[in-house]
Amino acid sequence: MKDSRRPLILPPAAESDMNAIEMARIWIAENQLHCVLNVGYWQQASGIDERHAWGILLADIARHASFALGNAMGSDPRDNLKMILESLQTEIAHKTSEHVGEWREGKP
């Protein structure tokens, strides 16, 4: 069984593109979700509404996950996406955990 705690690889395009921007890092630690988000990039770089842009990013992540699950588990990506969206809507309506943490702007 592979070690699921291994660092994830960088996509080749992110390594080769000098203009690549990291938008999110997400971990499960101490039995909680921890994330760092690059909020403000789209607004600052091109005047795009951040809320709209983050919605697109989350949709793209859901599609990537549905295809990855299909490859890993032999399931239908369309069914995977449907279940991901149902789970997302349920979690938004009825959260299973409290939001912890804070927004800190600036460098680490």
Number of other residues whose CB lies within 10 A of the CB of residue 42:
20
Decide if 81 contacts 66 (C-beta within 8 A): yes
The band of 108, judged by pLDDT with boundaries at 50, 70 and 90, is low
- Give pLDDT, residue 107: 58
Q: Tell me the whole-structure pTM to 2 decimals.
A: 0.85
For 23-50, what is the mean pLDDT? 92
* Mean pLDDT estimate for the chain: 91
- Concatenate the DSSP letters of all residues of 28-59 into one string: EETTEEEEEE-TTHHHHHH---HHHHHHHHHH
Question: Percent of the chain scored above 90 by pLDDT?
Answer: 73
Report pLDDT for 2: 65
